[in-house]
Amino acid sequence: MKEIYIKHIAAQLHVQAWQVENCEELLRDGCTVPFISRYRKERTGGLDDVDVQEIKHLTEVYDEMEKRKATILGTIEEAGKLTKELRKQIEDCLVSAELEDLYLPYRPKRKTRATVAKAKGLEPLAEYILSGKNPSVEVRKYVKGEVADEEEALQGARDIIAEKVSETASVRETLRQIFRTRRIVSKVTKEGEKNPDASKYRSYFSFSQPIGKIPSHTLLAILRAEGEGALNVSIDADAEKCGNKLYYDWCQEHGYPSREAGLEIRDAMDDGFKRLLEPSISGEVIKEAKEKADIESIGVFGENLRQLLLAAPVGQKRVMAIDPGFRTGCKVVCLDAQGNLLEHDVIFPHPPVAKKIDAIEKVLTLQDKYKIEVIAVGNGTAGRDTEDFLRKVGLPEDVKIFSVSEDGASVYSASEVGREEFPREDVTVRGAVSIGRRLMDPLSELVKIDPKSLGVGQYQHDVDQKLLKEKLDSVVESCVNSVGVNLNTASPYLLQYVSGIGPALARAITDYRRENGAFKRREELMKVPRLGAKAFQQCAGFLRIHGAANPLDNSAVHPESYHIVEKMAADLHVPVKELVGNAELCSKIQPQKYVEGDFGLPTVNDIIAELKKPGRDPREQAQEFSFADDIRTIDDLKAGMELPGIVTNLTAFGAFVDIGIHENGLIHASNMGVRGMAVPSQVLKLHQKIKVQVVSVDLDRNRIGLKLLS
C-alpha cells in the first residue's frame, strides 16, 4: 500500500504508521482480524480487533480508490489532456469526492447545453468573455451557421461558462463547505398529505435543522420518507449569497473583468449554481451526512448485536422450551444437554381451548422423564401467561424458568438451516427448539439467523447494506472467536465464523468429525481435506477440545506457543497438566525470561493469563427475572409507577424496555439519569435487568414513556 494511504489511516486511527503498515502486511498475507489482534500483538503494537478491522476496511477502500484512479488516469491520458500536475493531484487524492471533482471536466459527457454550444463553435467566445474583455463587438463574429443572432451566441457562451465553473474542483469544494453549515429542510408533498400511511412522518412535514447537528435516526427517517414520496428534502443554501461568493472568488483569482463581461460571467454563474451546482452539491452533502448517519446507526446495531451474541448462557443443561400461544396452543420441546431434540408435544393451558389439567400432566411427565433442569419460554404472545402457568404446576424447586426473546425464531424455523437441521419437523417445532437452544448458548444459536431479523437495529434497512453486512460479519466473527468454539460439538454454522475457516472448511470439519469421531488433539485438524497449514495457523487457537490429552488444546494458547509453556513447566519442575489452571504456580513465572524471537512480552503475558484460567468463558451466567405481577396490559399503567424491566433494544435516541406487556416502553436519552442527552449504549446494555418509572402513557398511540431508576 502507498505510504500516503498508510499515513492517512494512521492519522485517522491515532496510531503509528508502522502499526498500520505491519497490520496491512499481515492482512495481505491472509491473516484474519481475530488472529492478528490476539496472536500478533508484537507486530501491531497491541492493536485491538476494532482497530485491525478498521484498518482492514480502509485498506479495501483505498484499494478500490487505486483502481478508480487508474481508470481515471487512463481516460484522461487517452484524451491527450493528462499533465504532470493533474497526474500528481489525482495520485495524491485521498477523498473520493475530490477525486471525482478532478475527473469531472474530462469525463465523457452526454449531450448538454454546453456541448451543444461547443458544437456550434462558441467555445472561443466563452474564453474571450472569461478573459474579461467586452464581448459586444466580438460576439458578431459568431452569428453564422446554426447561431441565429447575438443573444443566441451569448447564451451559448454562458452555457459553456456555467458548465466549466460547475466542473471546477475549487468551486465545488467551496460550495460543499457552505452547504455543510446550512440547514436540511423537509416539507410534506401533496402525495404525503393524501396518504394516511405518511402520518408517521408528521413530525417532519415542516422541519429544518442544521445538517451538521441532525441526529442520525432523524436523518434516516426523513430520507426514508422522501423515498416513499411523503417529503421533499433540500438544503436551504442562499442562491444569491452563493453566487456572490463564486463571482468574488473568481475575480480574486482572475482579476476583475469589464462591466459587460462581468455581467455575462455573473449570469452564467447564477445559472450554473441553480441548474448544475445546487442540485449536485446538495445531493453530495446530504449523501455525505447519510454516510455518517449510516456509520453511527450501524455502530449502534453492531454494539447491540455484540451484546446479544454475548448474552449470558445457562450452559449445557437439559431444557424444556415452550413457544407459547393461545388459540393454537403452546409448542413444547425437550432437549438434551447438547441441544438435541428428544420429544415434542402441544399443550393448551390457556383459553379458548383451556385444557389446563392435561397441560399440567404433560409438563410434569416430560420434566420427570428427561430430568429437565431449566425451562425457556418465548416472550411473544401468551409468554407472561405461560410463565404464570408454569410457576403453579408444581415443578421441582430447582427447575428455573427463563423468558427468552423470540426475535428471529420464526426466521430460523422457515430457513434453509432450520429445514436442514430438522427436515421432518414443522416450523413450530423448529422455532421452539431455537428458543431452547438460545437459552443454552445464545451465540451458537443466533449465528444461524440473519442479524437484521433479531430486532436490535436502528433503521437497518435504510443504511448502506454492504457496510452493514461488513460490520455485522465482523461483530459475529469477533464474538465467536472471543468466546472460543468446542471443536467436537460446534455446528458448521458456528464453525464458519472461526478465524480462517469459512463455510466450506466448516462443512469439511463436521464431515470429518462424523466419519472419524471426535477430534482428540488440535493437530488432527490437518487431516481435514483442504485444511492446510495457513488455515490451521489462523483457527487453531480459537478451537477447544474438552478432555484432550494435552490440556493446552482446551485453552486459548496457540499451538505455536506450546513450547513456551513446556519450558515454563520444566522450569517449575511440574508437568504441563499441573501448571494449567494453577494460578499459584503461574504467579511464580517470570515473563521476561520467556521472551524470544517473535514471542514478545505481550504474547508471554497472554499465555500466563490463559494458563491461570484456561478456556474461560467471558460471558456471565444467566439469571432468572420476573415482571410486576399486577401489570398485564397498557391499561394497567399509571404515571409514577416503578417497575422492573429488561432492555430489548438500544438506539441513538434511547432504550426500549420490556415491562411485561405487549408494548415496549421507551427511555428517552434525556431520561437516563445523567445531565443532558445520554449516549444510551454507554449507560445500558442489551438484556440488562433494570428498574424504571413510568413517565407517560399514550393509549391512543400505544406509547409508553419511561425513566431509568437503576
Q: Is it the case that residue 378 has pLDDT exceeding 90?
A: yes
Write out pLDDT tens, residues 10-32: 999 999 999 999 999 999 999 99
Residue 570 or residue 457, greater confidence: 570
CB 339 within 8 A of CB 437: yes
Q: Read off the pLDDT band of 407 (50, 70, 90).
A: confident
Q: Are residues 148 and 295 in the same domain?
A: yes
Residue 450 or residue 433, greater confidence: 433
Q: Is it the case that residue 629 has pLDDT exceeding 90?
A: no
Q: Read off the pLDDT band of 109 (50, 70, 90).
A: confident
Residue 673: predicted pLDDT:
82
In a domain, residue 143? The reply is yes
- Burial class from Cβ neighbours inside 10 Å (0-12, 13-18, 19+) for residue 305 reads buried
Q: What is the CATH number of the domain that holds 416?
A: 3.30.420.140
Global pTM reads 0.85
Q: Are residues 24 and 72 in the same domain?
A: yes
Q: Which residues is 235 bridged to in the sheet?
A: 184
Q: Is it the case that residue 458 has pLDDT exceeding 90?
A: no
Q: Are residues 602 and 519 in the same domain?
A: yes
Q: Are residues 200 and 289 in the same domain?
A: yes
**Distances in whole angstroms, Cα of residue 341 to Cα of each of 164, 195, 420, 424, 494:** 71, 49, 14, 12, 19
Q: Read off the pLDDT band of 453 (50, 70, 90).
A: confident
Q: Are residues 62 and 162 in the same domain?
A: no
Indicate the average pLDDT of the chain: 94
Which stretch of 55-69, 279-293, 611-625 has the lowest confidence by average pLDDT? 611-625
Q: Are residues 401 and 428 in the same domain?
A: yes
Residue 464: predicted pLDDT:
92
Residue 681: predicted pLDDT:
85
In a domain, residue 629? The reply is no
In a domain, residue 460? The reply is no
Residue 230: predicted pLDDT:
96
In a domain, residue 654? The reply is yes
How distant is the alpha carbon of residue 93 from its chain centre? 27
**What backbone torsions phi and psi does residue 232 show, to the nearest 5 degrees?**
-105, 135
Q: Is it the case that residue 451 has pLDDT exceeding 90?
A: no
Q: How many domains does the chain have?
A: 5
Q: Are residues 328 and 239 in the same domain?
A: no
Residue 164: predicted pLDDT:
96
Q: Is it the case that residue 459 has pLDDT exceeding 80?
A: no
Task: Give the C-alpha separation, 272 to 280, whole Å.
Answer: 11
C-alpha cell read off for 441: 448458548
CB 465 within 8 A of CB 457: no
In a domain, residue 698? The reply is yes
Mean predicted confidence (pLDDT) in 680-706: 91
Q: Are residues 10 and 44 in the same domain?
A: yes
Last residue of a domain, one of 559, 577, 612: 612
Last residue of a domain, one of 274, 302, 330: 302
Last residue of a domain, one of 415, 440, 465: 440
In a domain, residue 166? The reply is yes
Q: What is the CATH number of the domain that holds 187?
A: 1.10.3500.10
DSSP 473-497: HHHHHHHHHHH-EETTT--HHHHTT
Write out pLDDT tens, residues 568-604: 999 999 999 999 999 999 999 999 999 998 899 999 9
Q: Is it the case that residue 499 has pLDDT exceeding 90?
A: yes
Residue 92: predicted pLDDT:
96
Above pLDDT 70, what percent of the chain? Answer: 100
Q: Are residues 160 and 55 in the same domain?
A: no
Residue 45: predicted pLDDT:
96
> What is the number of residues in the chain?
710
Mean predicted confidence (pLDDT) in 65-82: 96
Q: Are residues 254 and 129 in the same domain?
A: yes
In a domain, residue 458? The reply is no
Residue 518: predicted pLDDT:
96
Q: Are residues 137 and 266 in the same domain?
A: yes
Q: Is it the case that residue 677 has pLDDT exceeding 80?
A: no
Q: Is it the case that residue 674 has pLDDT exceeding 90?
A: no
Q: What is the CATH number of the domain that holds 684?
A: 2.40.50.140
Residue 194: predicted pLDDT:
92
Q: Read off the pLDDT band of 567 (50, 70, 90).
A: very high
Residue 336: predicted pLDDT:
96
Residue 185: predicted pLDDT:
97
Q: Read off the pLDDT band of 546 (50, 70, 90).
A: very high
In a domain, residue 627? The reply is no
Domain extent, residue 409, equals 319-440
CB 86 within 8 A of CB 102: yes
Q: Is it the case that residue 506 has pLDDT exceeding 80?
A: yes
Mean predicted confidence (pLDDT) in 356-377: 97
Q: Is it the case that residue 129 has pLDDT exceeding 80?
A: yes
Q: What is the CATH number of the domain that holds 487?
A: 1.10.150.310
Task: Give the C-alpha separation, 348 to 362, whole Å.
Answer: 10
Q: Are residues 59 and 122 in the same domain?
A: no
